[in-house]
Amino acid sequence: METPAKRQMLHRIIGAVLLLLIVGYAALLFSVNHAMHRSPAEFGRFMMKMPSAIFLIAPFETMWTRARAGHLNVGDPAPDFTLATLDKSAHVSLASLRNDKPVVLVFGSYT
């Protein structure tokens, strides 16, 4: 027979478990969001240690889109970056090309 005291204790236990789950989920979202705002290499090392279920329980795509959105508007100059040449013999920066001639940046796949 269930007494009011036992029922109250059961409600407290369920409440504590739910609170623990909510706090744990919030901590998980915070840590993933924080890692997304770091460099891609650091984020990759962080995600290697996470279980694959993280993609099912976290709004990963929305968080990633917001973390990597940037602050550029149409018409803003592209930020400077440096890339290796195809033969890996040298590096080319956008700033070095910008002064000589117009530069077109194309992002996408040609396959």
Tokens 């973390």 sit at which residue? 67
Token pair for 94: 């956008």
> What whole-number distance in Å separates Cα of residue 15 and Cα of residue 17?
5
Q: Structural domain boundaries of the chain? A: 4-73
pLDDT tens, the chain, 111 aa long: 578 889 999 999 999 999 999 999 999 999 999 998 888 888 889 889 888 888 888 888 888 888 888 788 888 888 888 989 889 999 988 888 877 778 887 777 776
State the burial class of residue 32 (Cβ atoms within 10 Å of its Cβ: 0-12, 13-18, 19+).
buried
**Distances, alpha carbon 102 to alpha carbons 42, 60, 91, 95, 96, in Å:** 34, 37, 19, 11, 11
How high is the pLDDT of residue 81? Answer: 87
